[in-house]
């Protein structure tokens, strides 16, 4: 292998500045970070807010839009509040007074467990299979029950129950009973 010789007549040395100044004084006020607002209703209609981009808003008005989180963002046509997500999950919980006759919950509108779909969720295109239904029937006597049918009728979710009570022997439940019902949406 031949010998390699490197020759260089110039040498350049580079170094940092001879002095460094570090100022630890308070500078000018910058743009504030994201601020959270809580209000009643659509934030786009609230003229008392003075948002800046990326601020957040939680709607605390009861109803279909309850618990939605909005973010103030730049859009074509101007800055506006846009729904980002629903803070609380889609849950429904209520006590329904239901009339049982011969062990079956009544199928008339006044006696069935009929729940407007808008009270449960704002999602469209749901089928009966999209609802997880849990319930209990408080009673002074032991009760055995099951859901016999869940159906969507127009804009309502209809739940039919069958129940028996034990009074020395098992027999159909014949009474007006409070049913505690809890529904969540499964997508």
Q: Delimit the domains of the chain by residue range.
A: 36-86, 91-185
Q: Report the alpha-carbon distance of residue 131 to residue 133 in Å, rounded.
A: 6
pLDDT at site 110: 41
Q: Report the alpha-carbon distance of residue 121 to residue 92 in Å, rounded.
A: 9
Asked if residue 150 lies in contact with residue 158, where contact means CB atoms within 8 angstroms, the answer is yes
Residue pLDDT tens, the chain, 187 long: 667 666 667 767 677 777 888 777 777 777 776 789 898 888 999 888 889 999 999 988 876 677 889 999 998 989 999 998 877 677 888 999 888 888 777 644 445 799 999 888 877 888 999 999 999 999 999 999 999 899 999 999 999 998 999 999 999 988 888 999 999 988 7
- List the structure tokens of 163: 């129940």
Contacts of 55 (CB under 8 A, 6+ apart): 34, 35, 36, 37, 71, 72
Q: Report the alpha-carbon distance of residue 61 to residue 174 in Å, rounded.
A: 40
* pTM flag (> 0.75): no
């Amino acid at each position: 292998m031949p010998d390699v010789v490197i020759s260089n007549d110039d040498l350049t040395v580079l170094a940092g500045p001879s002095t460094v100044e570090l100022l630890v004084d308070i500078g000018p006020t910058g743009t504030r970070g994201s601020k959270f607002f809580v209000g009643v209703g659509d934030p786009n209609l609230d003229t008392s807010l003075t948002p800046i981009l990326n601020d957040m808003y939680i709607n605390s008005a009861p109803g279909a839009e309850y618990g939605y989180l909005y973010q103030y963002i730049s859009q074509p046509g101007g800055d506006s509040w846009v729904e980002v997500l629903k803070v609380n999950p889609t849950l429904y919980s209520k006590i329904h007074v239901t009339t049982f006759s011969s062990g079956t919950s009544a199928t008339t509108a006044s006696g069935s467990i009929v729940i407007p779909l808008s009270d449960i969720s704002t999602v469209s295109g749901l089928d009966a299979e999209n609802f997880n239904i849990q319930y209990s029937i408080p009673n002074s006597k032991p009760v055995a029950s099951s859901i016999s049918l869940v159906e969507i009728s127009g804009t309502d979710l209809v739940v039919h129950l069958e129940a028996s009570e034990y009074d020395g022997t098992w027999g159909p439940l014949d009474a007006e009973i409070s049913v505690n019902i809890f529904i969540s949406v499964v997508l």
